[in-house]
Structure 1
Amino acid sequence: MSVLKLGVPSKGRLQEKTMDWFADHEIKLSRTGSDREYSGAVSGVDGVELVMLSAGEIPKELKAGRIHLGVTGEDLIHEKLPLWEREVVNLQKLGFGHADLIIAVPKGWIDVDCIEDLDAVCAQFRTNHGYRLRIATKYHNLVRGFLRARGVADYQLVDSQGATEGVVKNLTAEAIADITSSGETLRANHLKILSDGLILQSQACVFGSFAADWSDDAKTAFGAIAAKTGWDVTKLKG
């Protein structure tokens, strides 16, 4: 029997909200070991194995076909799978984990309100300093594509995997591209979002893998889940 593998976030509020959502649809997800063990169980449907992974790992596991279904943010899917529509299908927006990927600049840049203004600043910055204006982010693909589409080229991306809002104050970048929900951290660090600087509105979703082995058993299990959740089974017809 080839079981259907469901990947969910291994910790935090995203895991809690995911478990609550499935419970509301009569599918119980639970850990089978300690909080440090990444094993789990599924009840309410047969033939499903729970796999606990970091949200950032789930896109590559879906792409490789090592899991059939996975819960993660749209931002991570779009960033890590540039051709995501060929590799996965969005089966369900879950209504939590909301975050906006935005571009923000120092609040003191009073003449910089939009991407066009940022483009002008980039050109002037290189003339004044001899190097390109730095934008700190961990979303290199999404940011590069967004700016390219708007004709902005004279900048450089610097990697930031955490506390991105603080890099401007620490003088390691001049602007940032990061996710935000309330904007409070941006304001606390004296940053403002450009008026047209919204790159992507993201939330947690259930994605299905086109590369997974959709055996008859896996399809049967998926059909049982779909019967409870209302998913369109034809989206993953193999």
Structure 2
Amino acid sequence: MTLKLGVPSKGRLMEKTFEWFAERGVGLRRTGSDREYAGAVDGVEGVELVLLSAGEIPRELAAGRIHLGVTGSDLVREKIADWENKVRELALMGFGHADLIIAVPKFWVDVDTLDDLDAAAAAFRAEHGFRLRIATKYHRLVREYLRDAGVADYQLVDSQGATEGTVKNRTAEAIADITSTGETLRANHLKILGDACVHKSQATLFRGRRSGWDDNMRRAFDDLTAKLQIND
């Protein structure tokens, strides 16, 4: 069998991944057009390149359909239940940095912390008769974080795009989303709660924990990690 390495199929994340491997003597390249999602690995025998969306890579790793994968640490934690028993971090790659945060309207002058948010949520429910809505696509991470912080009387509403606009559009009262500079939040008159960084994400090389590797796969893995100077 061939050791399969999944990497993002387009955009800056793909480009930075290719650069990261190239700096360590392993060439990743497309072998077709931008629409073909075909690729090759140079410098190590027995490794197959699989081009996927960053959001698909956690699922494929957990299922064992790929054996190594590059994606955001936020996506692995969000998409894989009990992720630490299904995949393992091999290397933090130093790019793709973004923070998963909770933000509220700037005019909520008395809401700056999670304790403030908890109090505001209780007051909101008492006044409006339904729970304060937090728009996000990171349901697992946000729910666990707020549970541990003791925040109640809220509901998560799904938002797969333009999350910062949900408050203005009155489909949510607060948001939980990824940000790198905060510019979009400020443009939408939102502020980040001071103690509400749910997760600091970056591009990470993961290994699936599923068994069943043959000798060829283990040999290819050892050769690859030696090139990348990773201690497994």
Specify the TM-score bucket, using the shorter chain as the normaliser. Answer: over 0.9
The aligned counterpart of 2:77 is 78
- Give the Cα separation in 2 of the matches to 1:81 and 1:92: 18
2:193 paired with 1:194: yes
Q: What amino acid does structure 1 have at the position aligned with 2:206?
A: F
Please state how far the C-alpha of 1:212 moved relative to its aligned partner.
5.2
The aligned counterpart of 1:5 is 4
The aligned counterpart of 1:113 is 112
The aligned counterpart of 1:54 is 53
1:66-114 CA-partner distances (Å, limit 9, x unpaired): 1110000000001011311100110000000000000000000000000
1:120-148 CA-partner distances (Å, limit 9, x unpaired): 01011011111110000000000000000
- Give the Cα separation in 2 of the matches to 1:88 and 1:232: 16
RMSD (Å), alpha carbons: 0.8
- Give the Cα separation in 2 of the matches to 1:168 and 1:79: 23
- Give the Cα separation in 2 of the matches to 1:159 and 1:44: 43
The aligned counterpart of 1:132 is 131
The aligned counterpart of 1:236 is none
Give the share of equivalent positions with the same residue, in percent: 67
- Give the Cα separation in 2 of the matches to 1:213 and 1:187: 49
Pairs within 5 Å for 1:154-165:
154-165=153-164
The aligned counterpart of 2:17 is 18
Pairs within 5 Å for 1:134-153:
134-153=133-152
Q: What amino acid does structure 1 have at the position aligned with 2:152?
A: A
Please state how far the C-alpha of 1:191 moved relative to its aligned partner.
0.3
Q: What amino acid does structure 2 have at the position aligned with 1:144?
A: R
Q: What amino acid does structure 1 have at the position aligned with 2:63?
A: A
Please state how far the C-alpha of 1:14 moved relative to its aligned partner.
0.3
- Give the Cα separation in 1 of the matches to 2:208 and 2:121: 40
Q: SS of 2:127's equivalent?
A: helix
Q: SS of 1:162's equivalent?
A: coil
Q: Which runs of 5+ in 1 are unaligned?
A: 234-238
1:175-226 CA-partner distances (Å, limit 9, x unpaired): 0000000111100100000010100001000000011532111110111111
- Give the Cα separation in 2 of the matches to 1:23 and 1:72: 17
List structure 1 segments (4+ residues) > 6 angstroms apart after TM superposition.
none
Please state how far the C-alpha of 1:164 moved relative to its aligned partner.
0.5
Please state how far the C-alpha of 1:152 moved relative to its aligned partner.
1.1
Equivalent residues of 1:104, 1:191 under 8 A apart = yes
Q: What amino acid does structure 2 have at the position aligned with 1:63?
A: A
- Give the Cα separation in 1 of the matches to 2:171 and 2:180: 24
Please state how far the C-alpha of 1:151 moved relative to its aligned partner.
1.1
Pairs within 5 Å for 1:35-54:
35-54=34-53
Please state how far the C-alpha of 1:171 moved relative to its aligned partner.
0.6
The aligned counterpart of 2:64 is 65
Q: SS of 2:157's equivalent?
A: strand
- Give the Cα separation in 1 of the matches to 2:32 and 2:214: 29
The normalised TM-score by structure 1 is: 0.96
Equivalent residues of 1:98, 1:204 under 8 A apart = yes
The aligned counterpart of 1:104 is 103
1:142-163 CA-partner distances (Å, limit 9, x unpaired): 0000000111120000000011
Q: What amino acid does structure 2 have at the position aligned with 1:180?
A: T
Q: What amino acid does structure 1 have at the position aligned with 2:160?
A: Q
Residue-pair matches, total: 232
